[in-house]
């Protein structure tokens, strides 16, 4: 039998999977939320994404895995189908279910993004913002060219709501998400609009990593306003550059938070030693 068989007799499967977006990530896995096979997807997906199960590893057989997860075989089978659809595993007759190489995973899947960024490092942050920079500046430029007067007015209304909630990070999250999703919708491009879930997950992760500032999210308002004004002025290149500036600032903020947390953790280890 090829691959490395994962023995789970001494492995405890955590029944609570960290959710990077917290309660805000309501748009992720809506179809699976609260279902038994959704629970299977969350637990196994997180274990695979976090490296507990590595590429080439064989998952335990259906009887053992069902018992460990506390679900029936039919529920397990449905959960495994979802993970297979994400490119994370493959089932082969007489061989079993194997974890596929990470290069074959659907890394734009919102669930996979969320699992990957539960405990991100600086390299993960760079990848996340590379993704956002590949999407949002271009969308902002198209939005400046194509958005109707009604749509730019809606974007302005969303921004005013951001201003009103900027001192409360939890309340700010809703209009902030709406602003960035509207940029995609108002391009008039259905393919770009379909990336809204990806951008939502990426934004929630970014937001979680930077929401411990004492001033809430007020610091981000001038950059959002600059982007809005370029769109209202039909300045496509200005909108693109404003979006880049917004993302650069957000990445700097996230990196600062991670470095501060890393330094704090190092200090705790030194005190323990």
Kindly report the CATH number assigned to the domain that includes residue 80: 1.10.10.10
State the DSSP H helix or E strand holding residue 89, giving kind and residue range, or none if neither.
Answer: strand 89-92
Tally of structural domains, the chain? 2
Question: Averaging pLDDT over each range in 23-37, 108-122, 128-142, which range is the top one?
Answer: 128-142
Question: For 229-243, what is each residue's pLDDT tens digit?
Answer: 999 999 999 999 999
The answer to whether residue 231 is domain-embedded is: yes
Domain endpoint, select from 51, 79, 104: 104
The answer to whether residue 110 is domain-embedded is: no
What whole-number distance in Å separates Cα of residue 90 and Cα of residue 249?
40
The answer to whether residue 202 is domain-embedded is: yes
Q: Mean of the pLDDT values across residues 40-53?
A: 93
Residues 78 and 164 in one domain: no
Kindly report the CATH number assigned to the domain that includes residue 202: 1.20.120.530
The answer to whether residue 212 is domain-embedded is: yes
Residues 8 and 98 in one domain: yes
Q: Which two tokens stand for residue 76?
A: 């397990």
Percent of the chain scoring above 90 in pLDDT? 56
Residues 138 and 251 in one domain: yes
Residues 144 and 31 in one domain: no
Question: For 61-86, what is each residue's pLDDT tens digit?
Answer: 999 999 999 999 999 999 999 999 99
**Which pLDDT does position 263 carry in this prediction?**
53
Residues 131 and 266 in one domain: yes
**Which pLDDT does position 238 carry in this prediction?**
99
The answer to whether residue 141 is domain-embedded is: yes
Question: For 154-192, what is each residue's pLDDT tens digit?
Answer: 999 999 999 999 998 889 989 999 999 999 999 999 999
Residues 133 and 225 in one domain: yes
Residues 78 and 127 in one domain: no
- Say if CB 247 and CB 131 are below 8 A apart: no
Burial of 271: CB neighbours in 10 Å, binned 0-12, 13-18, 19+:
exposed
**Which pLDDT does position 257 carry in this prediction?**
84
Q: Mean of the pLDDT values across residues 30-43?
A: 76
The answer to whether residue 237 is domain-embedded is: yes
Residues 39 and 140 in one domain: no
What whole-number distance in Å separates Cα of residue 262 and Cα of residue 148?
45
Pairing of strands 89-92, 57-58: unpaired
Q: Mean of the pLDDT values across residues 4-21?
A: 46
Closest CA to 66 of 43, 85, 32: 43
Beta-carbon-side half-sphere exposure of residue 204 (alpha carbons within 13 Å):
27
**Which pLDDT does position 30 carry in this prediction?**
41
Buried b (16+ CB within 10 A) or exposed e, 68-81: bbebeeebbebbbe
pLDDT of 5 above 70: no
The answer to whether residue 113 is domain-embedded is: no
* Domain limits for position 21: 4-104
Residues 220 and 265 in one domain: yes
- Say if CB 56 and CB 99 are below 8 A apart: yes
Lowest pLDDT segment from 87-91, 187-191, 208-212: 208-212
pTM: 0.74
Query: Which 3 state secondary structure label does DSSP give 53?
Result: coil
**Which pLDDT does position 33 carry in this prediction?**
55
Residues 65 and 23 in one domain: yes
Domain endpoint, select from 104, 129, 158: 104
Domain endpoint, select from 44, 76, 104: 104
**Which pLDDT does position 243 carry in this prediction?**
98
Residues 53 and 150 in one domain: no
Residues 136 and 265 in one domain: yes
- Say if CB 15 and CB 69 are below 8 A apart: no
């Amino acid at each position: 039998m090829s691959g490395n068989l994962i023995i789970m007799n001494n492995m405890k499967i955590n029944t609570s999977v960290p959710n990077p977006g917290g309660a805000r990530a309501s748009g992720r896995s809506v179809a699976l939320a609260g279902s038994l096979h959704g629970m299977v997807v969350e637990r196994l997906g997180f274990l695979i994404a976090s490296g507990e199960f590595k590429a080439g590893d064989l998952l335990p057989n259906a009887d053992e895995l069902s018992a460990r997860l506390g679900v029936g075989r039919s529920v397990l089978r449905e959960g495994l189908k979802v993970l297979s659809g994400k490119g994370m595993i493959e089932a082969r007759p007489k061989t079993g279910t194997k974890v596929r190489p990470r290069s074959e995973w659907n890394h734009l899947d919102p669930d996979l993004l969320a699992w990957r960024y539960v405990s991100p490092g600086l390299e993960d942050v760079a990848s996340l913002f590379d993704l956002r920079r590949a999407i949002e500046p271009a969308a902002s430029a198209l939005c400046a060219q194509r958005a109707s007067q009604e749509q730019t007015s809606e974007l302005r209304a969303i921004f005013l709501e951001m201003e009103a909630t900027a001192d409360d990070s939890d309340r700010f999250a809703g209009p902030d998400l709406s602003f960035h999703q509207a940029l995609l919708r108002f391009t008039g491009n259905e393919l770009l609009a379909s990336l809204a879930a990806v951008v939502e997950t990426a934004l929630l992760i970014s937001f979680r990593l930077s929401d411990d500032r004492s001033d809430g999210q007020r610091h981000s308002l001038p950059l959002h306003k600059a982007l809005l004004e370029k769109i209202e002025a039909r300045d496509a290149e200005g909108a693109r550059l404003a979006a880049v500036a917004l993302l650069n600032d957000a990445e700097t903020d996230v990196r600062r938070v991670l470095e501060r947390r890393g330094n704090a953790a190092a200090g705790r280890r030194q005190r323990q030693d």
